[in-house]
Amino acid sequence: MAVTTAPPRPPALRRRRKKGTTGELPKKVWATAIMWLMVVVYGFPVLWFLLSSIKPAGELFSYPLTLFPENPTLKGFTQAWTSFDVAQYFVNTLIVTVAATLLTIVASAACGYALAKYNNWWIKAFTICILATTMLPGEVLLAPLFLVVRDLNMYNSLSAVVVPAVITATGTFMFRQFFLTVPDDLLEAARIDGSGELSTFLRIMLPLSRPIMLTLAIFSFQWRWNDYIWPLVVLNDPSKYTLQIGVATIVGAENVNWSVLLGASVLSMIPLVLIYLVFQKYVMNADINAGLKD
């Protein structure tokens, strides 16, 4: 189709576009200007924060304020890392995040596949149950959920942060929507070849869903890394705190030690930024609608 219609069209299109560009120059200038103004609005707070974090403590509050530090130093970072247990918080957060992310992917992939490819009545009922969890998030069930965790003897352990977070409607539905697009013929073919249901899932379907796994991995990593209220409720011992609670305790202090706070905050942001920069396309091109629309 494209080949047959191509010869006559391009000149006409090109001519129209050329006319358009000269007439629409102001539009281009405006759009670009507004966009870069927005870039400043969104980028500046972070830039100011990063530049402040490498200022020595004395320079932070000395007027006149300057954008760039006169004597850049990493003292805030080293102080936060050593004296405020940020290293410990870092390890805890990493354990929680990695464990929860791996388990979330396993549980969501398996469940999403079952919801997409089997039509028993109880599978349909469970689909509705999973949807219902979006209406009752952890924040709403805070007190009773805490009691459940306590009764399971998980209070004050990192598993209390990990285990309840494994079930997510968004992740399950991301996989469900993906597996709905995988033709049933593939499944039938595997059945005719005598492949068991579970091995079909593990050997054929799971490898197909790699892009979804990566997308969910990044989402889950972000959710768990940035979680605040649930870890705050179930972790009591400061040696088990996650980064977010750790930073919040520095903020909550009577006299906020800004030098340490800025250092700890910036340190806590690094892993996510790195992951985002590496796996950017899996976030930006993700059809996140899939997980939320249904």
Partner 1 sequence: MVDSIHPTAAAPSTEVRRGPEPVKPRQQRWRRRRLNRYTGAPLVLISINLLLFVTFFVWPAVTGLLYSFTSYTGVGTAPYVGADNYQRLLEDEAFYSALIRTLIYTAGVVPLTIVLSLGTAVLLVTDYAKGKVVARIIFFLPWLISPIIVGVIWRWMFGENFGLVNYVITELGGSEVSWQSNANLSLMVVIFAAAWAGTAFNMLLFVAALKNVPTSYYEAASLDGAGSWAKFRNITLPAIAPTTFIVVLLSILHSMKEYALFAAINDGGPGTANNLLVQYIYTKGFERAQIGYASAASFVLMLILMIVAIVQLSMNRRKES
| Interface with partner 1 in residues 219-248 (CB under 8 A) | 222, 225-226, 228-229, 233, 244, 247-248
293 burial level (CB within 10 Å; 0-12, 13-18, 19+): exposed
| Segment near partner 1 (CB under 8 A); pick from 2-10, 68-76, 78-86, 130-138 | 130-138
Selected binder of partner 1 within 52, 101, 177, 209 (CB under 8 A): 52
| Peptide bond between residue 64 and the one before it cis (omega within 30 degrees of 0) | yes
**Choice between 99 and 233, CB closer to partner 1:** 233
Residue from the set 10, 15, 18, 30 that interacts with partner 1 by CB under 8 A: 30
Contact pick of 123, 180, 182, 214 for partner 1 (by CB under 8 A): 123
Burial of 199 (0-12, 13-18, 19+ CB in 10 A): exposed
d(CA 188, CA 36): 53
**Which amino acid is residue 185, in one-letter code?**
D
Near partner 1 by CB under 8 A: residue from 18, 32, 82, 184 = 32
Show contacts with partner 1 in window 5-24 (CB under 8 A).
24
Complex with partner 1: residue 167 or 204, whichever CB lies closer? 167
For 283, the 3-state DSSP assignment is helix
Q: What is the DSSP letter of 238?
A: G
**What letter represents residue 191's amino acid?**
R
- Confirm if 108 and 216 have CB atoms less than 8 A apart: yes
Q: Rule CB under 8 A: choose which of 86, 100, 130, 174 binds partner 1.
A: 130
Among 142, 189, 208, 278, the residue binding partner 1 under the rule CB under 8 A is 142
The least CB distance from residue 175 to partner 1, in Å, is 11
Question: Looking at 94, 95, 102, 167, which residue binds partner 1 (CB under 8 A)?
Answer: 167
Beta-carbon count within 10 A of 265 CB: 20
Residue 287 interacts with partner 1 (CB under 8 A): yes or no: yes
172 lines the binding site for partner 1 (CB under 8 A): yes
Using CB under 8 A as the binding rule, whether residue 141 contacts partner 1 is answered as: yes
Residue 193 Cα to chain centre, angstroms: 39
Q: Between 110 and 182, name the residue whose CB sits nearer to partner 1.
A: 110
Of the CA atoms within 13 Å of residue 200, those in its CB half-sphere come to 19
